[in-house]
Copies of this chain bind each other. A is one copy, B any other.
Amino acid sequence: MPERSKLYFTVAETLRRARNIALCGHVMPDGDCLGSVLALGRALKIMGKEVLMLSPDPVPEMYAFLPGASEITVTGNGYKAVDVFVSVDCSVPDRLGCHHSFLERAGRVIVLDHHAGATVFGHIYLNEPGYAAAGEMVYELLRLLPVSLDPEMAACLYVAIITDTGSFRYDNTGPQTHIRVAELIKLGIDAARINKLLYEEKSLVSMKVLGRVLQSLRISDCGRVAWMSVRQDTLRELNARNEHVDGVINYPRAIKGVELALFYREIEANKYKVSLRSKYFLDVNKLAAQFGGGGHQRAAGCIMEGDLAEIQRRMLEAALTALKDEHT
Contact = CB atoms under 8 A, between A and B. Distances in A.
A173 interface: yes
Interface of A, secondary structure class, is helix
**Interface magnitude class on chain A:** 35 or more
A310 interface: no
B171 A255 contact: no
Given A211-B215, A214-B214, A203 B256 contact: yes
Contacts of A212: 214-215
Contacts of A311: none
A74 interface: no
Q: How many copies does the complex hold?
A: 2
B191 A168 contact: yes
Given A207-B214, A211-B217, A173 B191 contact: yes
Interface stretch (A77-85, A101-109, A182-190, A286-294): A182-190
A2 interface: no
29 contacts: A167-B167, A169-B195, A169-B199, A171-B191, A173-B185, A173-B191, A175-B183, A175-B185, A175-B186, A176-B182, A177-B182, A178-B179, A178-B182, A196-B279, A200-B254, A201-B255, A201-B257, A202-B254, A202-B256, A203-B256, A204-B226, A204-B255, A207-B214, A207-B217, A211-B211, A211-B215, A212-B214, A212-B215, A215-B215
